[in-house]
Amino acid sequence: MAANRATLIALTALAPVSWGTTYAVTTEFLPPDRPLFTGLMRALPAGLVLLALVRVLPRGAWWWKATVLGALNIGAFFPLLFLSAYRLPGGMAAVVGSVGPLLVVGLSALLLGQRPTARNVITGVVAASGVSLVVLKAAGALDPLGVLAALASTASMSAGTVLTKRWGRPEGVGPLALTGWQLTAGGLLIAPVAVLAEGAPPTLDAPALGGYLYLALANTAIAYWLWFRGIGRLTATQVTFLGPLSPLTAAVVGWAALGETLTAPQLAGMALAFGATVAGQTGPPARTARAAGSSGGPGGTVTVPCPAPANAPSRQGSA
């Protein structure tokens, strides 16, 4: 049982680790200044591939539920996150995003009837502090619109994650299909915004095509499937505090592949954030999940990633 639990945690952790490579892939291979197009290329192709694999479409109320979840987790989340990244200095958007677990604790109390614990709150504060030390640079004046966009993106993903647990999945439908529904719905919502804001798609060379292929398949389709799978099988504390692995991975990749340096405060922040991640895995085992079709009612567990944009001007990790 312990070995299975550790394996599940490790597989779920691959999602934020993958999201932490987004910055390097974007800056090294993708066309600049096209964040919405990049978000579209990540979400819609990945969603369509998953739909082709599972060949399952929503039925009844799940048409609007999948649309709401896709809008919150993808369609609204990506544009808001991109906006905040371009208007805030350094890693400030990632710092704001790192309070996502604390928002989830509050939303869980309201929507799922889960009582917040002092341990979760303290661990969330420590994780956010560690992320701040890793990604926060010397900054000028903060842009109010950027701060609001960062808070809105974090709130959007937090609400989407709590609703994902509350609604569960329809009978006979696995996490792969649910992921495909959300990515497709979110991508379709991003498409008109991308066209209006950025115009026609850019010309893509071989490195850009390879970068988008990686983002769509490994970084999005597989990573989001692992993440939503983990939401259904692990406790809130366990999955929530895997989120800091994203900015930590981004910092390590920047040091190893892009020649960036790691300062003493950054190393201290990495130790704090990683310590919070480990501490978040020491809670009691998750209760056995109900059969497919579970509504994920008040007894369920929830989490939220610590994401960052697909085409941000600064390294911030994640989704």
User: Hey, what long-range contacts does 216-220 have (CB within 8 A, 24 or more apart)?
Assistant: 216/41, 216/42, 216/45, 216/46, 216/49, 217/46, 217/49, 218/18, 219/18, 219/19, 219/21, 219/22, 219/25, 219/42, 220/42, 220/43, 220/46, 220/183
Alpha helix stretches (DSSP H) within the chain: 2-19, 22-29, 35-54, 62-70, 77-87, 92-97, 100-111, 118-135, 144-167, 175-198, 206-216, 223-233, 236-240, 245-257, 264-279
Q: Is the pLDDT of residue 69 over 80?
A: yes
Q: Residue 73: pLDDT above 80? A: yes
3-state secondary structure of 72: helix
Res 289: pLDDT: 40
Position 88 scores a pLDDT of 66
pLDDT at 283: 59
Q: How confident is the model at residue 260 (pLDDT cuts 50, 70, 90)?
A: confident
* Stronger pLDDT, 56 or 116, i.e. the higher one: 56
Q: What is the pLDDT of residue 267?
A: 85
Please say if the pLDDT value at position 286 is more than 80: no
- What DSSP designation does 288 have? P
pLDDT at residue 182, as a whole number: 95
Q: Check if the beta carbon of residue 246 is closer than 8 Å to that of residue 17.
A: yes
Instruction: Give the span between the Cα atoms of 280 and 272, in whole angstroms.
Output: 12
Low-confidence winner among 10-24, 113-127, 275-289 (lowest mean pLDDT):
275-289
Instruction: Give the HSE-up count for residue 241: Cα atoms under 13 Å, Cβ half-sphere.
Output: 27
How much is the average pLDDT of 1-28? Answer: 85
> What are the C-alpha distances in Å from 285 to residues 223, 234, 277, 293?
23, 7, 16, 22
Predicted confidence at residue 153, as pLDDT, reads 84
- pLDDT exceeds 90 at position 316: no
pLDDT digits (tens, 9 = 90+) for 207-255: 999 999 999 999 999 999 998 888 778 765 577 778 778 878 878 887 8
Percent of all residues in the chain with a pLDDT value above 90, rounded to a whole number: 29
With 60 as the cut, is the pLDDT of residue 53 above it?
A: yes
Residue 254 vs residue 68, higher pLDDT: 68
Q: What is the pLDDT of residue 192?
A: 94
Q: 92 phi and psi, to 5 degrees?
A: -60, -35
Q: What angle do CA 58, 59, 64 make, to 5 degrees?
A: 70
Q: What pLDDT score was predicted for residue 293?
A: 42
Query: How confident is residue 318, by pLDDT bands cut at 50, 70 and 90?
Result: low
Q: How do residues 161-190 score in pLDDT, each as one tens digit?
A: 788 888 888 888 999 999 999 999 999 999
Question: Does residue 25 surpass a pLDDT of 80?
Answer: yes
Residue range 116-129: mean pLDDT, rounded? 80
Copy the structure tokens of residue 78: 């990506």
Mean pLDDT value across the chain: 80
Most confident of 27-31, 156-160, 223-227, 232-236: 223-227
- For CA atoms 158, 160, 163, 169, give the dihedral sign: negative
